Amino acid sequence: MASTGAIRGGLAQPTGVVWIVDDEPHAAQLAADLCTAVGLRSLIFGSHQPYLGALRDRDAPFAVVLDWRLENQLSAGVFMATRHRFPELPIIYWTASTSADLPDMIRDDPGTAVVDKARGNDAFERALDWVVNGARPR
């Protein structure tokens, strides 16, 4: 999974930033708040264009949070661009769509966790735990 930083109190503390790509400001902010609650920093991209620029020009983030229903149905393309640039990067699909609505390339990707927004904050926090500690969400 993603790298961790200094050991504090016996636990590895994550380093880096989680990139959040969601065109719904309230959902993006909630994801950022949940990242902060577990000690992760975040950067919100409100659309695909600034995200793709960062993907091209910056070092890998700690993880990426994507929404399936991005404007103009570009989420699959954003996913493929992310996988092409950073094949091992953890991706959390935090979406109102069911897992069955997503393409096989996303559902079957071992570096991707699909989390239904309707399942609440706990499900997202389990996905963050997977990113930090390798504990696969159920």
Segment 53-78, tens digit of pLDDT: 999 999 999 999 998 877 767 888 89
Strands 63-66 and 41-45: unpaired
Q: 14-133: what CATH class?
A: alpha beta
Asked whether the beta carbons of 94 and 117 are under 8 A apart, the reply is yes
Q: What is the pTM of this model?
A: 0.84
Q: Domain locations in the chain?
A: 14-133
Residue 67: predicted pLDDT: 87
Q: What's the whole-number mean pLDDT along residues 99-117?
A: 87
